[in-house]
Structure 1
Amino acid sequence: MNIDVTCEHNAELFDALVEGVRQYNAQHMGEEASEPLLVSARDEQGQVVGGVAGRTIYRQFLIEVLWVSEAARGSGLGRTLMAKAEEEARRRGCIAAQVDTLKFQAPEFYQKLGFEVVGQVNGVPPSPDRFFLMKRYV
């Protein structure tokens, strides 16, 4: 057996690992239907000023990133983007959404949208506290 360590992205290796997990999961949960879910906003010049990206899988909306430009913060754009993304997730049959965020990022934002803190990692300097949040749709 050879064990390699690399610091470069290897799409082929990554895909092989994901496929292995999918095969294992299928034994316990059935076949997966993972689909990307992206919602974005652009200004009049066509520049991205915000967006949400994630995926739906096993009736869950997994939020990978939410970003709103400094100029658009406080305008309600983040709330609007999340509403559109969650609407699509529900249309796909999702029963919950999940996200993790750092203390200085947006835990309060998600809580205002109805997410609950279901886990927290504290005291691992130099990292700030990390929050895991979930919102049930049913």
Structure 2
Amino acid sequence: MQVEVLDQHDEALVQALVDGVRQFNAKILGYVDSTPLTVVAKSDDGKLIAGVSGRTVYQHFLIEVVWVDESARTQGLGRKLMERAEQQAKARGCVAAQVDTLSFQALDFYRKLGFVVIGEIAGFPLGHNRYFMWKQFE
């Protein structure tokens, strides 16, 4: 056996790890499709302005990233994209969504959308907290 430490992202290697976990899970839960879900806003010239990206799996929308360009913040765009992503997740049979955020990021934004804090890590990063949030769909 050879153990390696890598300091660069290797997409194929990470995918092989994910595939291994999915194979294990399938033995217990049966095969479940994990499908990417991304909703973006672009300017008329094609420049990315904002987006929500994650995946739907096990009847949940696992949100990996939400970003809105500073020039477009506080105009309701983030809410609009989150609502569109939620609609799509529901159409795929999802019953809830999950996201995490740092204390200086978007905690109040997610709360206004109906997310609740279900876990917290204090001091991550130092001087801040990390919050794990969940939203049950109606």
Q: State the TM bucket, normalised to the shorter chain.
A: over 0.9
- Where 2:85 maps in the other structure, the secondary structure is helix
Aligned length: 138
1:24 maps to 24
User: TM-score normalized by structure 2?
Assistant: 0.94
| SS of alignment partner, residue 17 of structure 1 | helix
Query: 1:35 is aligned with what amino acid?
Result: T
CA positional deviation for 1:45: 2.4
Task: Report the counterpart of residue 83 of structure 1 in structure 2.
Answer: 83
Partner of 2:6: 6
Match of 1:104 in 2: 104
- Where does residue 115 of structure 1 map in the other structure? 115
Query: Kindly, what percent of the aligned residue pairs are identical?
Result: 51
8 Å CA contact retained: 2:116, 2:133: yes
- Assess, with a 3 A threshold, how the Cα gap between structure 1 residues 42 and 137 changes in structure 2: closer, same or farther: same
For residue 43 of structure 1, report the CA deviation from its aligned partner: 1.7
Secondary structure of the residue aligned to 1:126 is: coil
Q: Distance in 2 between matches of 1:89 and 1:137?
A: 10
* Structure 2 residue identity aligned to 1:103: S
Q: CA deviation at 1:10?
A: 1.9
More displaced, 117-126 or 67-76?
Answer: 117-126
Letter in 1 for 2:120: Q
Distance in 1 (CA, whole Å) between partners of 2:120 and 2:36 is 26
Distance 2:42 2:124 in 1: 37
Deviations 1:77-99 (A, max 9, x none): 00000000000000000010000
TM-score by length of 1: 0.94
1:40-55 to structure 2, matched below 5 A, reads: 40-55=40-55
User: Does structure 1 conserve the Cα–Cα contact (< 8 Å) formed by 2:52 and 2:66?
Assistant: yes
Q: Which amino acid aligns with 2:27?
A: Q
2:34 & 2:125 partners in 1: Cα distance? Answer: 34
User: 1:30/1:92 Cα in 2 relative to 1: closer, same or farther (>3 Å)?
Assistant: same
Q: 1:37 to 1:59 in 2, by over 3 A?
A: same
Corresponding residue SS for 1:16: helix
Alignment-derived partner of residue 58 in structure 1:
58
**Inter-partner Cα distance in structure 1 for 2:15 and 2:46:** 33
SS of 2:97's equivalent in the other structure is: strand
Task: Identify which range, 56-65 or 6-15, moves more after superposition.
Answer: 6-15
Alpha-carbon distance between aligned partners in 2 of 1:105 and 1:26, rounded to the nearest angstrom? 35
